[in-house]
Amino acid sequence: MLLDDDIALTGVNYKYSGAEQYLSGIQLDYSDGNSSPIFQNENAADEEFNEIRVSASAAPRKIAMAIDNSIGGIVGFRLADRRGNVIVEEKWNGDGVSSSWDTQDIGSRERIIGVKVSTQSDDNDFNII
C-alpha cells in the first residue's frame, strides 16, 4: 500500500503493435517525479510511447481495460471516479477488432502504484503485454 497520500498517478505511457494493435508496452508516471519501470514485449522495442496525462487531483476509483473478444489482447484503457465519470479513456484498436471493457474497482484507501503484466499468452487473470 502506498503510504504517502500526496503521491498520485499522473500519467500512463503505452505502446501498441501488430495488426490488431494490442498493448505491447506500458509505464506509469507519478506526481513525485518518479516513473515505474518500462514493461514491454519484443515487438514494442522500436515503437514510440503514447501518453495519457492524468490530473494529480483526480481520484480514480475504477480502472478498465478494453479486451479483444477473440484472443484477449488489450486495446484500450480507462480510469473513472467513484460515480463512474470517465477521467481518461483511450482506445487504439484497429478496425474490425471487437472488444469489451473489463472493469475493476479501486478501494477508497488504495492507489495505483504498479502494473502486473505477462509477456505470455495463457489463461491467467491478466492479459498479454
DSSP codes of every residue in 35-94: BPPPEE-GGGTTSPPEEEE--TT----EEEEEEETTT--EEEEEEE-TT--EEEEEE-PP
- Residue 23 within any structural domain of the chain: yes
Domain interval for residue 65: 9-105
CATH number for the domain harbouring residue 76: 2.100.10.10
Q: Which three cell numbers stand for residue 6?
A: 500526496
- Residue 3 within any structural domain of the chain: no
- Residue 64 within any structural domain of the chain: yes
Of 26-30, 87-91, 105-109, the poorest mean pLDDT is in 105-109
- Residue 128 within any structural domain of the chain: no
- Residue 37 within any structural domain of the chain: yes
The winner for highest mean pLDDT among 30-44, 93-107, 113-127 is 30-44
- Residue 61 within any structural domain of the chain: yes
